[in-house]
Amino acid sequence: MDSSEIAILVPAYNEEKALPGTLDSLKSSYNPSQIVVINDGSEDATPLSAREAGVRVIDMPVNMGIGVTMQTGYRFALRNGFKYALQCDADGQHRPEEIPLLIREMESSGADMVIGSRFVDRKAAGFKSLFLRRQVIRFFSGWINMLTGFKVHDVTSGFRLVNRRIMELFAEEYTFDFPEPESIILTARRGHKVVEVPVTMRSRQGGVSSIGLFTGLYYMVKVTLGLVLTRLRKKD
Amino acid sequence: MSLKLHLFAVAASLGFIAIIFELVRRKLLKESYSLIWFFVGGGFLFLSLFGDRIGGLAKFAGFQMASNAIIVYAIFLILILVLGLTVAITRLSKASREMAQEMGLLKNMLEEAKEKNKNGGGKR
């Protein structure tokens, strides 16, 4: 795989603190023309710092949420002829130097989607998220396994590489509230192959998490139900 | 029902229908959505005119009192209306999502084209 064929999609909402650092480390390995910040209607200097970094910028006219934002990124990558798209969060949790791990895994396993996972290799160091959140992730992981037969450990990881087939799927159909777990089902039920590769993540490097207590409860209910509905939805 | 209540109910129903009519006229309510509201207004009018006589109908459906029947039917109707509205909202949010995405992508294309033009001296 030629790494210049990858679009690095960086969804960002009010990430002025962490974004410059993330973009700097991305630029050390990738051409700015393949780095795409999708600014989800930020109220801070996010779009400004993205433009100063000289990368490509898509501004959502209003705040639409991560799902809509990522789908816009996939559409962009598809229309601009990229063969692969990699999602890398703006907050510095994902390490750009680990992107080659995902690339190698895709090449060797022939998977359509490779997810960078905190939990595959339990002995590995790095940030593993909070206890409660880990339990939620484990629950969804079991739920997805039951519904699809796929065993994915880190279902909420946004660090993922997809090929053009998945880009085409996501450009057409994506889930919009909390898309990471449901998009795995979307992918699996089309018969595409999903694999995980162990990565280490950092805690966020600035800004605040978009998920609080109430949102967390809503997340649980919405995703539990959403996973079933995604499984049942007609494939058109 | 007393005559006073009858008159009041008829007047209120006619007022309701008039409001719907006015909303459509001022284009504050889409004609296709107005149909259901005219239907509701018609129902009000029917009940205020013949409310006394639906006792038999309610008994037939197993209600002890006609007023209970009316309340149950009204709640059911309201729920259907709300469901219809959430379906409409879903459609709208899909439309606005698509538009926001296309807008973002177009703005990016425009910016990049401008940039290219500037760097390329404007002429090929």
Residues 82-111 of B with CB under 8 A from A: 97, 100-101, 103-105, 107-108, 111
pLDDT, tens digit, 9 for 90 and up, residues B86-113:
999 999 999 999 999 999 999 999 999 9
pLDDT tens, position by position, A95-135: 888 999 999 999 999 999 999 988 765 555 556 566 777 78
Name the more confident of A228 and B24. B24
Q: How many CB pairs under 8 A join A and B?
A: 38
**CB-CB: which of B104, B111, B112 is closest to A72?**
B104
**What spatial distance separates the first Cα and last Cα of chain A, rounded to whole Å?**
31
Q: Do B111 and A57 touch (CB under 8 A)?
A: yes
User: Beta A84-87 vs A6-12: how paired, if at all?
Assistant: parallel
Closest-CA distance of chain A to residue B30, Å = 26
- Mean per-residue pLDDT over chain B, rounded: 87
* Residues from chain A contacting residue B101 (CB–CB below 8 Å): 60, 64, 68, 71-72, 75
CB A192 within 8 A of CB A165: yes
Q: Does B115 touch chain A (CB under 8 A)?
A: no
- State pLDDT tens for residues B41-76: 998 898 888 877 777 777 777 888 777 888 888 899
Task: Give me the pLDDT at residue A209, please.
Answer: 62
**pLDDT single digits (tens) A182-232:** 888 888 888 899 999 988 887 766 555 666 667 777 777 877 887 787 777
Among A58, A66, A76, the residue to mutate for chain B (most B Cβ within 10 A):
A58
Residue B26 has pLDDT above 60, yes or no: yes
Distances (CA, A) of B9 to A176, A201, B68, B69: 46, 67, 18, 18
